[in-house]
Each structure stands twice: as C-alpha cells, then as structure tokens.
Structure 1
Amino acid sequence: MFIDTHLHIIDKQALTYPWLADVAPLDRDFLYRQYAQEAKRVGIAAALHMEVDVAPEAIDAETDYIRGLSTEPDSLIVGAISSCRPEEAGFPAFLERRRADPFIKGFRRVLHVMPDELSETPLFRENVKRLDGSGLTFDLCVLPHQIPRATALVDLAADTQFVLDHCGVPAIAAGERHPWQENVAEIARRPNVVAKISGVVAYADAGTWTVETLSPYVEHVVDCFGWDRVVWGSDWPVCTLGGGLATWAAATHALFAGATRDERRKLFFENARKLWKLDLPA
C-alpha cells in the first residue's frame, strides 16, 4: 500500500490557478473523484494534498476546499501541505493560524518557477527560520542548479524538516545528471531533509521513457538519502504528462522490485506515516 504524499486537485470552478494558462495539458479540472477511483485501484491507502500554487488570495480557500474533500465518506485525504509566501511580512501571523490547524501538515513555496534570488532575501530566510520547532514540514521544489540555495535554507533552519520534491527535478529527458547528481548528494548530507520519489515521469520523454530511463536517477536519490529518508508521491495529475497514475505506480513497483519488503514498506508507507504523524495503522 502507498501513502501518496503529493496529490494535486485542480477545480477551476472553485479556485484560481494563474499558471495553468501556460500549461495547456493541465489547464482543466482534475477532480478528487477521478483521482480516488484510480488511486484505490493501484493501492493508495491515504493521501496528502499538495498545494497547487493558487492565486495568493485563494490560499485559505484552497485549504478549506481540500478539508471539505477530506470529510467525504471513505476519503483518502488525511492532510494538506499549504501554500505560503515567506517573502511577505504577513507570514508570521499566517504561520500562527496554520499551526493551530491540525489538518495542515506543512508548507510549500514553489521556487522552481521563481527567480533564484527569492529564497536568499532576508525576509524569506527569517520567515523560514520561524518554522523551527513547529513540527511543520517545508517542501522544496527546485531545479538542479537551485539545490545549493535550498541547501542554504536547510542549514538555516536545522530544526525544520524539509522535503526535496521530485528527486530534485532532474532533466531526465535531456539525459543530464550534472550538477543535479552532485547537488542531491550534498543536500542529502543534511539529516533534516527527506527526498520524495515523485514527479520523475513528467521529466522524462513521454514517448520513450522506460524503467531503465528512470532507474539511475531514482537509485541515486535512494543511495544518497537511505531507506529511512525517502517517501513516495504520485504527483497527480502532473504524472499524466508521463503516462498517468497507474503507469507511475507500476513503474515504482518495477524500480524497487529488488528492494527488500521492509525497504519498500518504508518508502511506500511507513516513512510518511511517521514524518507527518498520520493516524494510520502501522
């Protein structure tokens, strides 16, 4: 069974997503009901919703919308990773509101589409440091050349648990491994970072990738982080760009066919259950 640590729900009737206009294949509704049917078929037992970079004024509305989905009968959703804006002066008050909400398990500020310097501004760094001791995670979605900047954030907030999304976003379609390979190894030296095995099918050539295409990238991440510091995510519906949820689940099983049962359980389920303190059977 999987805990999906990276589910996106897109409902254009309910929320506003400015970036979708530039990504035509995703510029439509991807609703929970569609996800749940397929997720249950591939063995997903629970899911964390990952913020979808809604318009800033819709951040609270996104949380409320996802909370509503979590209350539906037999819902897979057990929590949410909220969007945030650490570059803004209002972040401390925002953080205090979120800390009081047990449904919120962590935060993400998308950085891979932002100027490299954003995470280096004094206010951004000061506000990320405020996460220390909060018990809330911070997801890092960065390009390979931005990983050193992410590493600097990690060093700044040593008591915050960070999550490196999508294996560090390697350029798989281009066959590039540098500087991604070295930068992943360096950030993995920090004990307060876990890596998310997710998203890689979207970074491969949709028409030609195979398990062998993905394997060197995924194996490098696991080798660097170890089995106790990796979690799994679907990245639905972005994974539809590379074949879809069922295809990614099948590829995952193939990629880790040589792992032990205990190693697979850690990656697929147990590490996420412990990291986000999810009330699920062990």
Structure 2
Amino acid sequence: MKVDSHQHFWEYDPKRQDWISEDMKRIRRNFLPGDLFPLLQDAKIDGCIAVQAEESLRETDFLIDLAQQHEWILGVVGWADLGSDGLEEVLENYSENEHLVGFREVLQSKDPRYMLREEFIRGIHKLGEKGYCYDLLTFPQHLEATLELVKKCPDQRFVIDHLSKPAIKSGAWKEWKKRISPLAERELVWCKLSGMVTEADWQKWTYEDLFPFLEISMELFGPERLMFGSDWPVCLVAGEYEQVFRVIEDFSSQLSTSEQDLIWGQTALEFYQIS
C-alpha cells in the first residue's frame, strides 16, 4: 500500500489560517478531500494521513469527520493542548475513535524551551499511555531541545516533520546534519521526507538542490524510519503534487524494492499503527 503520510485539509478562513501570507496566496482557498483524491489516484497512492494545520479541537474534530466520510483518509494527526489540566478528559473523549492516530502542535512558532515545560512532557507521557504518536514540527534551532524532549520520553514514538525544515534554499546542510544526527540515533524517532520544496527556492528549485538532504536522511534514518509525505496543499506554493511525488520517486529508484516499499507506505503504516 502506498501512503502519503502528511497532508492537510481546510476550509479557508483568513483569521484561522493567518499564517498563509500574501506570497502564498495560491493556497488561500478551501482544500478538501475532493481536491486531493484525483491527485492520489494519478500518483497511484492508496491513502493518506491528514495532519492538523490549526491549533484547536475544532480542527481535530473536522479532520476526524472527513476521515469518517472517506476511507482512504487512513488516519488523523490532531491537536490538543498537552499542557492542559483537562488533557486526560480530552483523550478519553477520543479514546473510541479509530481514526485519530496522533497529535501535533506548531512547535516551530514557539521558543525551543516550550516543549521542555514539565506540563508539556507530562502531556507527551499521557499520549504514549493512550497509544498515540507525536509529530514534531520544528526548525533546526529546535533540535537540541527536541533531543532533550525525546530523552525525557524514551518510550514515545516521534516523527520529525519535513526533516525539521533545513535551509535547503541556501544549501546549508552541515549544521542541520549535526543537529539532527543525535535524534536519528534514537530508536523511536522517525522522519518524514516532506515539506522540502517549500524550504527551497520556490521559483527555481531543482532535484539537485534537494538530493543532499535526501541522501543524509537516508544515511541517518534508513528506509525503515523514513516515509513519503507531500505536505499538500502547502507544497503548491513551490510545486505541483506530481512534482513533489516525482522527487521521492526519482530518489527512491536507486533503492531495492523492499526499501522503496518502506518509504512509500510500510513505514508510515507501522509508525501510525494502521493495519
């Protein structure tokens, strides 16, 4: 089974999606399952993981509702306030929902030490107790704190979204590799091959710009902890779905069939524990 491990849906609202700037105006509209499904079919992808793009329980419920309507939405990564005293009750309310597989917060917009607060770490432990994984949306400057978080939660499954957004446009891979390498040494940390084109030059990126970061990711994580993700529709500011798909297709063509199967779906299904 081929899986897109990272995409988003939204009904556009300029207040709720205030992060969509003027230079991203192409994605200032609704993006719903009917928009994505033909793209998945063209790429011969069987299903996807819908990931939160808004920090609200309304968002979590919205994505779960879509997953209930479309069987090819294989799982939902929602949002919850991990530092809230009411987290346990929130998780209990979702406990019977088979579509909710994990949670995420927009950590990239926060101080790196935010994730090391006692209440946040306590929240991560509660997720683990309920069997949920956690998506890490960070920049490279967050990776030192991320490693501390991972060490404090040794039994928790984490995945790094978008390779932690390295500076692909400038080609600065050495410092990023230095920072992400210790995380790759942790057995329960995975990584998504996603969100790369939006960290490159939107107008003139090439496969050669992305290749070093793909090679390093393969070296550090191996195919058993790497998964394809489109980051659609955010990717549209820099490239079409097919272009993003082709990047990983071209890169993975050098691998064995079993290694390709891991990147294209098996890793994501294992990480999100989808049968």
Rounded Cα–Cα distance in structure 1 between residues aligned with 2:185 and 2:79: 26
Rounded Cα–Cα distance in structure 2 between residues aligned with 1:178 and 1:83: 32
- Following superposition, the deviation at residue 81 of structure 1 comes to 0.4
Contact 2:2 2:46 in 1 (8 A): yes
1:195 and 2:196 matched: no
- Following superposition, the deviation at residue 184 of structure 1 comes to 1.2
Q: SS of the residue aligned with 1:145?
A: helix
Superposed structure 1 runs of 4+ greater than 4 Å apart: none
1:64 and 2:61 matched: yes
Rounded Cα–Cα distance in structure 1 between residues aligned with 2:100 and 2:65: 13
- Following superposition, the deviation at residue 125 of structure 1 comes to 1.7
Which of 141, 147, 150 lines up with 1:151 in the alignment? 147
RMSD, aligned CA: 1.9
The AA in structure 2 aligned to 1:17 is: Q
The AA in structure 2 aligned to 1:111 is: L
Give the equivalent residue in structure 1 for 2:208: 212
- Following superposition, the deviation at residue 115 of structure 1 comes to 2.1
- Following superposition, the deviation at residue 18 of structure 1 comes to 4.0
Contact 2:4 2:228 in 1 (8 A): yes
Give the total of aligned pairs. Answer: 273
- Following superposition, the deviation at residue 165 of structure 1 comes to 0.5
Q: SS of the residue aligned with 2:77?
A: strand
Rounded Cα–Cα distance in structure 2 between residues aligned with 1:150 and 1:168: 10
Q: SS of the residue aligned with 2:20?
A: helix
The AA in structure 2 aligned to 1:194 is: W
Rounded Cα–Cα distance in structure 2 between residues aligned with 1:209 and 1:41: 23
1:31-89: CA deviation from partner (whole Å, max 9, x where unpaired): 221111111111110111000124x3xx2x3333323323446x421220011222333
Give the equivalent residue in structure 2 for 1:106: 102
The AA in structure 2 aligned to 1:213 is: D
The AA in structure 2 aligned to 1:243 is: G
Contact 1:87 1:124 in 2 (8 A): yes
1:137-178: CA deviation from partner (whole Å, max 9, x where unpaired): 000011001111111111111111000111121110122124
Rounded Cα–Cα distance in structure 1 between residues aligned with 2:96 and 2:20: 31
Q: Normalized against structure 2, the TM-score is what?
A: 0.92
Give the equivalent residue in structure 1 for 2:53: 52
Q: SS of the residue aligned with 1:190?
A: coil
Rounded Cα–Cα distance in structure 2 between residues aligned with 1:43 and 1:220: 27
Q: For 1:9-88, what aligned pairs fall within 5 Å after superposition?
A: 9-12=9-12, 16-20=16-20, 23-54=24-55, 56=56, 59=57, 61-72=58-69, 75-88=71-84
The AA in structure 2 aligned to 1:69 is: L
Give the equivalent residue in structure 2 for 1:8: 8
Contact 1:132 1:158 in 2 (8 A): no
1:277 and 2:269 matched: no
Unmatched segments (≥5 aa) in structure 1: none
Q: SS of the residue aligned with 2:224?
A: helix
Give the equivalent residue in structure 2 for 1:242: 238
1:265 and 2:261 matched: yes
Contact 1:47 1:76 in 2 (8 A): yes
Rounded Cα–Cα distance in structure 2 between residues aligned with 1:110 and 1:178: 25
- Following superposition, the deviation at residue 226 of structure 1 comes to 1.3
Q: For 1:90-169, what aligned pairs fall within 5 Å after superposition?
A: 90-169=86-165
Q: Normalized against structure 1, the TM-score is what?
A: 0.90
Q: SS of the residue aligned with 1:79?
A: strand
Contact 2:5 2:228 in 1 (8 A): yes
